[in-house]
């Protein structure tokens, strides 16, 4: 837990500014009418003003004041700060484009300390801390859930009163305030600020971004910059004073590659950029890959800011096929520049950061599979930590990991750093080939476990404490994966989860939570939903909740009033981390039930299913009675299975008795750690084609495969096979941004 935290935010406004000039309205002291000036207000005084405000209704945009509290409930919000965008206050903005709203809070600190307050907003901000003006900026700016100003302050021991005045000039203005943790590196702040200040313009020459930073306050001096050409010659240079920014690139730069170098105090940062249109210069990507060098301290944030316009450029979304080619080309460049996928991991150029963008080569088609790894700032030597596996939210259309969530909307990823610090956990967000609205396929599951295996090479992860979480469709996918592998997960957390009560076919029915819900009996589940959620109405999820309660699952449904915390970028999975802290996985249960229709899902706790009748749903209930040294099984459609005797407290010096469906099938002292049993006679093979269960076909694409392409023939059969192969190749390339392995039938 951090040694300083916010209390409840009190909000009062919006006050009308009775002047036409917004910059003049910004300086209006609305609290003076109540006998106290804004710079002298205290926490109690602010509450008293709120009571008196009702007597001065004409001061407010809506004809009456809006006074509301924003409680920092630890279950729902980070304990160090927040982002506000109140519907109650915003309703008054439509008719009054020039108004002010006050935000007040008490910041408690265990000791006197120097720290940094960070702020972000759409428009002007004025901030007082303990009656002292620490920030004054009337200018509008671009706000995208990001910090804009960093203000060094000194917190007193005990309560510190903070008052923020936001000057609103449009509907729906927002303000953000946060306290940078004592563990956060000032070097990281410098790096991020410079990235955003100077480098976001790389691919939009001449466009004013309008972002400002208090770099002077952090560096205690000027920020100088220079631009080199490819030969290393300095062709331009300049300096930035406090709150100044580069609004335009010089017009005399010819098409080509350059490097921008920024001197910030004793630190030096550099970045390559290209002047000209990428559309007409595809070869420049290869040149950029060859010429560009990562900075000494490049972070994931830096990568996003530098290439943000390329990753999210709307011009890439016109032609679907061209978009795919562009995204593949761009990601290969980024992969090469930043060494995201390397045979021998050496920490990578972004290893200093708490947010790492890495990747591995998939066993399926050798495609690069990226993931984001978030690590706590401080870990004890040789200490294993829990892992939160986050399945990324799904977009309406298939987007590359680099251009979709979470990279294109990095705000929640940045905020998850605080969650990792507070709860001392790792957070892993893999690509994992998760597709919109598709059921969980074996390939998706294999990629999830491959990403866990990859990060386990470099970090001490407690594999007994892996939790899985997801939003909307990813929530149902989290339940599905956990139902397939209940022994691998210590818990599941869903946010506004979809629930499929009527699967489309038998295969989905056999793989969805609807059928497999009892598999989750020993997996703690937290489902967060809103009773006002228009996107995924809570009524659609209630069948799962009712079934979970009826079966006695360790299930908790948390109904929250704000649906936007489920779907918008404010979701930081803090509830999941808090849930992890409260639910530590115990040893394998002595009693469980399990269903499966596929041998791919054949291991659960201390039992492995070796053969089952197919197509059929195999059922097993298993209980170990320690005092009697007995295992009781109840099975259906299971031909043979194995019991891992070493995972149970079996007394091997005594006779072990095993019963199945009430009959004794084993009664002797175990001679090994694995006991294999035949339960029923296997039916004679019945190799008939069925459209009901397509599991084996899905399994094909979960491992290394090749499409055999017909050559050398012109018959109709060969033409038909070639058309099918072409279709498979195109579909694979369209969905996974990588062509599959293709071999000719004649070599």
Q: Has residue 417 been placed in a domain?
A: no
And the tokens for 135? Answer: 């920030």
Looking at the structure, tell me whether residues 639 and 716 fall in a common domain. no
Looking at the structure, tell me whether residues 127 and 233 fall in a common domain. no
The whole-angstrom separation of Cα 426 and Cα 88 is 37
And the tokens for 73? Answer: 């409930």
Looking at the structure, tell me whether residues 173 and 273 fall in a common domain. no
263: part of which helix (H) or strand (E)? strand 256-264
* Cα radius of gyration rounded to whole Å, the chain: 30
* HSE value, Cβ hemisphere, 13 Å, CA-based, for 2: 27
Q: How far is CA 683 from the centre of its chain?
A: 47
Please classify residue 691 by burial: count the beta carbons closer than 10 Å to its beta carbon, then call 0-12 exposed, 13-18 middle and 19+ buried: exposed
Question: How far are the Cα atoms of 122, 180, 418, 665 from residue 572, in angstroms, in the given order?
Answer: 22, 16, 9, 51
pLDDT at 221: 57
Among 402, 291, 298, residue whose Cα is nearest residue 348: 298
As beta bridge partners, residue 707 has 742
CATH of residue 217: 2.60.40.3080
Question: What are the strands, taking DSSP E only, across 614-673?
Answer: 618-625, 630-636, 638-644, 656-660, 663-668
Looking at the structure, tell me whether residues 98 and 188 fall in a common domain. no
13: part of which helix (H) or strand (E)? strand 9-16
Q: Has residue 481 been placed in a domain?
A: no
3-class state of residue 116 by DSSP:
strand
3-class state of residue 528 by DSSP:
strand
The whole-angstrom separation of Cα 462 and Cα 383 is 9
Among 678, 747, 735, residue whose Cα is nearest residue 709: 747
Domain range for residue 640? 591-678
Please classify residue 587 by burial: count the beta carbons closer than 10 Å to its beta carbon, then call 0-12 exposed, 13-18 middle and 19+ buried: exposed
Strands 461-471 and 355-361: unpaired
As beta bridge partners, residue 624 has 631
Crossing angle of the two packed helices 473-484 and 442-456, in degrees rounded to 10: 80
Cβ contacts of residue 582 below 8 Å, gap of 6+?
A: none
Looking at the structure, tell me whether residues 142 and 265 fall in a common domain. no
Whose tokens are 């930043």? That residue is 338
And the tokens for 348? Answer: 């990578």
Looking at the structure, tell me whether residues 108 and 28 fall in a common domain. yes
3-class state of residue 493 by DSSP:
strand
Looking at the structure, tell me whether residues 247 and 332 fall in a common domain. yes
Q: Has residue 720 been placed in a domain?
A: yes
Looking at the structure, tell me whether residues 230 and 315 fall in a common domain. yes
CATH of residue 105: 2.60.120.380
Q: Has residue 423 been placed in a domain?
A: no
Count Cβ neighbours within 10 Å for each residue of 274-305 and write b for 16 or more, e otherwise. Answer: bbeebeeeeebbebbeeebebbebbbbbbbbb
Crossing angle of the two packed helices 320-338 and 300-312, in degrees rounded to 10: 160
As beta bridge partners, residue 659 has 632, 664
Q: Per the omega criterion (within 30 degrees of 0), is the bond before 711 cis? A: no
118: part of which helix (H) or strand (E)? strand 113-121
Looking at the structure, tell me whether residues 257 and 279 fall in a common domain. yes
The whole-angstrom separation of Cα 209 and Cα 141 is 8
Contact 744, 711 (CB under 8 A): yes
Looking at the structure, tell me whether residues 735 and 613 fall in a common domain. no
Contact 521, 605 (CB under 8 A): no
Domain boundary among 165, 182, 199: 182
Question: What are the strands, taking DSSP E only, across 409-554?
Answer: 426-430, 461-471, 491-495, 525-530
pLDDT at 246: 47
Q: What are phi and psi of 610, to 5 degrees?
A: -90, -40
Please classify residue 33 by burial: count the beta carbons closer than 10 Å to its beta carbon, then call 0-12 exposed, 13-18 middle and 19+ buried: middle
Among 33, 20, 175, residue whose Cα is nearest residue 99: 20
Contact 522, 586 (CB under 8 A): no
Q: Has residue 21 been placed in a domain?
A: yes
The arrangement of strands across the sheet holding 368-374 comes to 355-361, 368-374, 426-430, 385-391, 461-471, 491-495, 525-530, 555-560
The whole-angstrom separation of Cα 152 and Cα 191 is 17
Going by the DSSP 8-state scheme, the letter that residue 196 receives in this structure is I
Q: Has residue 661 been placed in a domain?
A: yes
Domain boundary among 349, 375, 399: 349
Cβ atoms < 10 Å from Cβ of 248: 11
Looking at the structure, tell me whether residues 246 and 263 fall in a common domain. yes
Question: What are the strands, taking DSSP E only, across 420-503?
Answer: 426-430, 461-471, 491-495
Among 247, 263, 117, 138, residue whose Cα is nearest residue 194: 263
Q: Has residue 472 been placed in a domain?
A: no
Contact 180, 148 (CB under 8 A): no
Whose tokens are 């006002």? That residue is 532
720: part of which helix (H) or strand (E)? helix 716-736
Q: Give the DSSP per-residue string, 394-448.
A: --SS---TTTSTTTTT-HHHHHHHHHHHHHT-EEEEE-TT--TTPPPPHHHHHHH
| Residues 213, 214, 220: CA angle, nearest 5 degrees | 140
Question: How far are the Cα atoms of 26, 256, 395, 423, 502 from residue 506, in angstroms, in the given order?
Answer: 63, 57, 26, 41, 10
Structural domains in the chain (count): 4
Q: Has residue 701 been placed in a domain?
A: no
Contact 386, 580 (CB under 8 A): yes
And the tokens for 46? Answer: 């602010």
The whole-angstrom separation of Cα 390 and Cα 573 is 9
Q: What is the mean pLDDT of each run of 10 residues along the chain (747 residues)?
A: 65 77 78 88 87 80 63 36 43 58 86 81 86 85 58 88 83 66 51 49 34 45 74 80 50 69 69 54 43 41 49 47 58 60 42 69 86 82 91 67 58 73 91 76 91 92 94 91 95 91 79 91 92 83 94 92 55 87 82 91 93 87 95 96 93 93 95 92 62 62 87 76 89 82 81
Domain boundary among 160, 182, 204: 182
Looking at the structure, tell me whether residues 58 and 109 fall in a common domain. yes
Whose tokens are 């500014």? That residue is 17
The whole-angstrom separation of Cα 455 and Cα 426 is 10
Question: How far are the Cα atoms of 269, 273, 276, 304 from residue 285, in angstroms, in the given order?
Answer: 22, 11, 12, 17
């Amino acid at each position: 837990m951090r040694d300083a935290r916010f209390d409840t935010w009190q909000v009062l406004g919006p006050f009308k500014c009775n002047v036409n000039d917004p910059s003049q309205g910004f300086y209006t002291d609305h609290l003076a009418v109540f006998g106290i000036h804004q710079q002298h207000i205290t926490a109690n005084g602010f509450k008293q003003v709120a009571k008196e405000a009702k007597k001065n209704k004409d001061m407010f945009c809506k004809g009456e004041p809006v006074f509301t509290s924003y409680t920092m409930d630890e279950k729902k919000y980070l304990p160090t700060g927040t982002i506000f965008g109140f519907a109650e206050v915003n309703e008054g903005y439509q008719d009054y484009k020039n108004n002010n709203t006050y935000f007040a809070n008490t910041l408690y600190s265990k000791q006197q300390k120097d720290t940094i307050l960070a702020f972000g907003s759409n428009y002007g901000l004025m901030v007082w801390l303990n009656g002292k003006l620490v920030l004054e900026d009337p200018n509008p700016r671009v706000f995208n859930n990001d910090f804009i100003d960093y203000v060094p302050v000194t917190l007193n021991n005990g309560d510190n009163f903070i008052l923020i005045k936001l000057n609103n000039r449009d509907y729906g203005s927002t303000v953000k305030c946060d306290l940078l943790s004592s563990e956060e590196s000032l070097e990281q702040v410098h790096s991020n600020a410079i990235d955003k200040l100077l480098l976001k313009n790389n691919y939009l020459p001449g466009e004013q971004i309008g972002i400002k930073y208090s770099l002077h306050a952090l560096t205690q001096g000027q920020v100088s910059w220079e631009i080199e050409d490819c030969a290393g010659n300095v062709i331009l240079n300049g300096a930035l004073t406090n709150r100044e920014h580069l609004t335009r690139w010089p017009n005399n730069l010819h098409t080509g590659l350059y490097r921008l170098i920024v001197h910030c105090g004793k630190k030096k940062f550099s970045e390559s950029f290209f002047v000209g249109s990428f559309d007409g210069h595809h070869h420049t990507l290869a040149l950029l890959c060859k010429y560009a060098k990562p900075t000494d301290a490049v972070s994931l944030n830096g990568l996003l800011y530098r290439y943000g316009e390329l990753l999210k450029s709307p011009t890439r979304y016109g032609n679907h096929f061209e978009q795919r080619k562009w995204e593949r080309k761009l990601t290969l460049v980024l992969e090469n520049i930043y060494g995201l996928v390397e045979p021998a991991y050496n920490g990578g150029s972004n290893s200093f950061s708490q947010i790492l963008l890495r990747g591995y080569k998939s066993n399926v088609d050798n495609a690069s599979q990226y993931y984001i790894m978030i690590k706590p700032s401080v870990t004890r030597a040789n200490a294993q930590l829990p892992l939160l596996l986050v399945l990324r939210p799904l977009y309406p259309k298939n987007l590359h990991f680099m251009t979709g969530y979470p990279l294109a909307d990095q705000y929640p990823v940045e905020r998850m750093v605080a969650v990792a610090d507070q709860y001392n956990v790792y957070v892993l967000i893999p690509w994992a080939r998760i597709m919109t609205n598709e059921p969980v396929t074996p390939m998706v599951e294999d990629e999830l476990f491959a990403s866990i295996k990859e990060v386990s090479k470099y970090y001490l992860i407690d594999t007994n404490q892996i939790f899985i979480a997801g939003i909307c469709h990813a929530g149902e996918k989290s339940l599905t994966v956990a139902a397939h592998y209940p022994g691998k997960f210590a818990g599941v957390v869903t946010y506004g989860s979809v629930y499929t009560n009527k699967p489309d076919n038998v295969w989905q029915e056999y793989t969805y939570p609807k059928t497999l819900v009892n598999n989750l009996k020993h997996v703690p589940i937290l489902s967060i939903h809103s009773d006002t959620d228009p996107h995924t109405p809570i009524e659609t999820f209630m069948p799962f909740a009712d079934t979970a309660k009826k079966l006695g699952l360790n299930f908790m449904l948390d109904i929250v009033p704000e649906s936007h915390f489920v779907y918008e970028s404010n979701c930081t999975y803090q509830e999941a981390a808090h849930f992890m802290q409260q639910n530590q996985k115990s040893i394998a249960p002595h009693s469980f039930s399990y269903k499966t229709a596929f041998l791919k899902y054949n291991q659960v706790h201390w039992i492995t299913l070796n053969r089952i009748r197919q197509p059929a749903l195999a059922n097993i209930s298993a209980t170990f009675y320690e005092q009697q040294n007995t295992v009781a099984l109840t099975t259906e459609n299971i031909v043979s299975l194995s019991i891992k005797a070493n995972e149970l407290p079996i007394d091997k010096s005594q006779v072990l008795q095993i019963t199945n469906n009430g009959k004794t099938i084993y009664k002797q002292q175990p001679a090994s750690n694995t006991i294999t049993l035949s339960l029923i006679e296997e039916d004679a093979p019945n190799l008939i084609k069925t459209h009901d269960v397509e599991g084996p076909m899905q399994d094909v694409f979960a491992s290394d495969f090749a499409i055999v392409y017909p050559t050398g023939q012109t018959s109709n059969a060969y033409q038909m096979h070639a058309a099918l192969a072409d279709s498979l190749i195109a579909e694979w390339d369209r969905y996974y941004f990588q062509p599959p392995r293709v071999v000719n039938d004649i070599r």
